[in-house]
Amino acid sequence: MTTNVNKALLLAALASVAAGAMAQDGDVARRVEDLMRRMTLEEKVGQLHQLSGRQMTGPGSEKFADKLADIRAGRVGSMLNVKGVAETREIQALALQSRLKIPLLFSLDVIHGYRTVFPVPLGEAASWDLDAIRESARVAAREAAASGIHWTFAPMVDIGRDPRWGRVMEGAGEDTYLGSQIAVARVQGFQGPKLGALDRVMATAKHFAGYGAAIAGRDYNAVDMSEQQLHEVYLPPFKAAADAGVATFMNAFNTLNGVPATASAVLQRDILKGQWGYRGFVVSDWASIKELVEHGHAADLSEAARQAIEAGSDMDMEGYAYSRHLAALVAGGKVKQSVLDDAVRRVLTKKFEMGLFDDPYRFSDAARERAVLADPSHARIARDVARKSLVLLKNEGQALPFAKDVGSLAVIGPLADARRDLEGGWIVQSDPQRVVSILDGIRGQVAPGMRLVVAKGCDVACTDTSGFAEAVAAAGRADAVLLVVGESWDMSGEAKSRADLGLPGRQAALFDALAATGKPVVVVILAGRPLVFNGVADRAAAILYAWFPGAQGGNAVADVLFGDYNPSGKLPMTFPRSVGQVPISYQQYRTGRPVVNAANVVYRSAYIDSPNTPRYAFGHGLSYTTFAYSDLVLSEPVMGQGDKVEVSFTLANTGRRAGEEVAQLYIRDRVSSIVRPLMELKGFRKLKLEPGERRTVRFVIDRDTLAFTDGKLRRVAEPGEFDLMIGSASDAIRLRGTLTLRD
């Protein structure tokens, strides 16, 4: 048997060399079937079992004896958290001792960089720069792939409208259109044009589905929403990722309308594999199959395994439900053989497409790992992406940029010299030595002779104010004052829900103490989510929102502070005034009682103690220059269902610096069978303009631009009038037009 297998592998390898390419589709299908015919029930189940392992080789590996034996016996299909050429080679060698020598897939959460840490995904989304986002994913893939990794658990494409939910940090924000575009860019960046390239990895669209809408913003909590909302708002980024060829999907921890997503045949079989014709495989989230018992949806682990496999969850991540029960379920006729086979076929197909049967070690090359991880271009790219992710929220009296020859600068705050916090969560293989703090970045920029006065003031979560006096004195001695505050890296991310969105600890009081000196205070805020900071918003001279900007964050922030880079980021999430306003999105729905006059809100859809408007709107972000919008032209005022209309306008840089603007197109469907939001993003362009430069910008509107999901879940574009709005933010509309869709 083994000889035959070797012969088959050899022939296939020769064929692929002869073809000069990785295996072709038909070829893969034939090889998968050939292998499947030779697999036992246990070996098939093994392909669906994913284990986590860290430092399983070398000294101390005895404690992993059972896991290592399972790998050798072909009872494991994939590993997560094994990384680096040395370790992946060693573990792969064990898998190749198994009867059929089926290679393992090595997977890892490469979320925003592997060795080179990029801004957290929400920060990258604030760049609205699809090329930059694609490039970030490409570099992450290149480094990970050079270190033996085949597969990343990214991008997270969950829509997030509730900043209490800490995982908004990992996504692209609140908007379905922007989120779908970014999902595609990330998939392209991670995977490249075709699976199997040595500098790319397989991507994962996660978490399918609805995870971002956890009740009360509490991670892992239940989700309950109308099917129309699900299809209209939450599913499109997943569909976009599937259409872009994402290799895998990950299901989700949450229940959706009462059914755990992991056990949802509607999501995984009907929608994903049925309607969307998806051919990749679905991995569960960490132990989410086992958690079907905890949810009260399955009585025991065996029942959980049956529900999950039947619902279309192909691979069990660390749940041990398939490894313990699936063979018996199939042997006992409780799960159909064809259901098991379909899952196994999907997993094997990816292994063939990645070229692992031709060379199981092809991603584990020590020389390549050394060279790629030392590539200096990666830091330059990370700096560029980080600069683009920064959002200038406020800049009164042009407090920024600082003059490079400002005599003295006070740099204050708990995060001014932070390194680890700049990286944010999901750091897998970073090198702390490479992180540039904001203070480092500033030191690298200022003119010789400039005096820096540094004072911490307090810690991120401090409860006392004993350091304030020193900070106030430092501010008093300086010509300009910079305060760096925000969250520490571990306050946003998975399991980091917050009920209070304020600056942690006494940081707001530190700002108050500095503001009381009467000196203009420029504030940089680090965070993985929109925070609430009304005092700072009211009284700071300027605010730069830096998210967690990654290893080059300090340089990027300094580039903006001193004007070497003109900020161009725009908010991908609405910033509320208070926690009481969340969940919140610019996509407010119309009501029968809209607020028409802010002075009179009685019996109107309003708060008695807060305006409805956010602190900073979706799409907001300032520049050091100014842009003018003019001359809106529609190629036709009326269109039929099959027509396209071009909307064009002139964008001019009316300031004195070169700068980039993100021009945004919104629509509003005036009358429809399902009430539509007051505005919906339908297009954007990021353009760089020199001072005085004017450019014609064009958007094309077709049926799809005007369509929505109706009450029967059909995509329809209903005849009638549509408002077109073009501007620099959802609350800064500069041009308006009307378009009519005919029957």
* Burial (CB count within 10 angstroms: exposed 0-12, middle 13-18, buried 19+), residue 9: middle
Q: 250 or 327, CB closer to ligand BGC?
A: 250
Task: Give least dist CB 165 to ligand BGC, A.
Answer: 12
Considering the complex, state which of residue 43 and residue 494 has its C-beta at the smaller distance from ligand BGC.
494
Q: Is 286 in the site for ligand BGC (CB under 6 A)?
A: yes
Measured from the CB atom, the residue of 212 and 505 that comes closer to ligand BGC is 212
Give the Cα separation of 359 and 231 in Å (integer): 41
The number of helices, as runs of H, and strands, as runs of E, in the chain is: 24, 26
Structure tokens at 665: 């197109």
Only one residue has tokens 């991908």, namely 572
Shortest distance in whole angstroms from residue 251 CB to ligand BGC: 10
Binding to ligand BGC by CB under 6 A, coded x per residue (else -) over 64-83, reads ----------------x---
Gap between the Cα atoms of 576 and 168, Å rounded: 14
- Tell me the three state secondary structure of residue 196: coil
**DSSP string covering 560-586:** HHTTSS------SS-B-SSGGG-S--S
Which string of x and - marks every residue 509-538 that binds ligand BGC (by CB under 6 A)?
------------------------------
CA 187 to mean position of chain CA atoms: 11
Please give the C-alpha separations between residue 244 and each of 112, 203, 271, 345, 382, in angstroms, as whole numbers. 20, 11, 16, 21, 24
Let me know if 285 is a catalytic residue.
yes
Rank residues 108 and 230 by Cβ distance to ligand BGC and give the closer one: 108
Return the beta strands (E) in 374-479 as ranges: 391-395, 408-412, 451-455
Residue of the chain from 114, 128, 153, 468 that contacts ligand BGC (CB under 6 A): 153
**109 is a contact residue toward ligand BGC (CB under 6 A):** yes
Our CB check for ligand BGC shows the closer of 128 and 249 to be: 249
- Shortest CB 158 distance to ligand BGC, Å: 10
Supply the minimum distance, in Å, between the C-beta of residue 261 and ligand BGC: 12
Strands of the sheet with 645-653, listed across from one edge: 627-634, 645-653, 694-701
Helix/strand/coil percentages in the chain, nearest 5: 35, 20, 45
Which residue in 162, 175, 285, 358 is the catalytic one?
285
Closer residue to ligand BGC (CB): 44 or 206: 206
Q: Which residue has the tokens 């958290």?
A: 81
206 binds ligand BGC (CB under 6 A): yes
Q: How far is the CB of 153 from ligand BGC (least distance, A)?
A: 3
Residue whose CB is less far from ligand BGC, 494 or 660: 494
CA 42, CA 630: separation in Å to the nearest integer? 67
Judged by DSSP in three states, 129 sits in coil
How far apart are CB 239 and ligand BGC at their closest, in Å?
20
Q: At what angle do helices 377-389 and 553-561 cross, to 10 degrees?
A: 50
Q: Which is it for strands 680-689 and 659-669: parallel, antiparallel or unpaired?
A: antiparallel
From the CB of 319, what's the least distance to ligand BGC, in Å? 12
- Residues of span 483-502 touching ligand BGC by CB under 6 A: 494
Token pair, residue 563, equals 């004007």
**Amino acid of residue 480:** A
Q: What is the footprint of ligand BGC within residues 207-226 (CB under 6 A)?
A: none
Q: Which two tokens stand for residue 415?
A: 């995060």
How would you classify the pairing of strands 715-716 and 732-741?
A: unpaired
Please report how close the Cβ of residue 52 comes to ligand BGC at its closest, in angstroms: 8
Nearer Cβ to ligand BGC (281/629): 281
The residues annotated with a catalytic role in the active site are 285
Residues at the contact surface with ligand BGC, assessed by CB under 6 A: 80, 109, 153, 206, 285-286, 494
